[in-house]
Structure 1
């Protein structure tokens, strides 16, 4: 989504589950909590609003989920790399 915004779809609105709406990061964010997302966003809303109003309300057309790890079965891990201990 970031690459599309920078190359071919400048009007795409990036929405992150951490709350930034309309973020325009100059480099790829390190995580959904990267400060540049909030600093460059048109607005920032609570995480619950992202899920209740935007996602569950059918207001998002396409979503992308980045994964820290993907196993051979296609399962994704978006939380921890390695052991949880």
Structure 2
């Protein structure tokens, strides 16, 4: 597992690279999040202020990866 040491969550965050995209990010305000704006499939959702990926909507196009300011999105 690869923690990004972004200090956003102030805990020992463990973001891992997996075949199924996963994300629980609170770095960006949802209204300004580049990943949400870039996703052509509207696969990003906001749950309690955290940005997550709806795995059923994500087609792994990887458009979101290049715009993430902290490199939190990993899709194999």
Say yes or no: TM over 0.5: no
Q: TM-score, normalised by structure 2?
A: 0.29
Q: TM-score, normalised by structure 1?
A: 0.27
**RCO higher in 1 or 2 (8 Å CA, sep ≥ 6)?**
2
Structure with the higher helix share, 1 or 2: 1
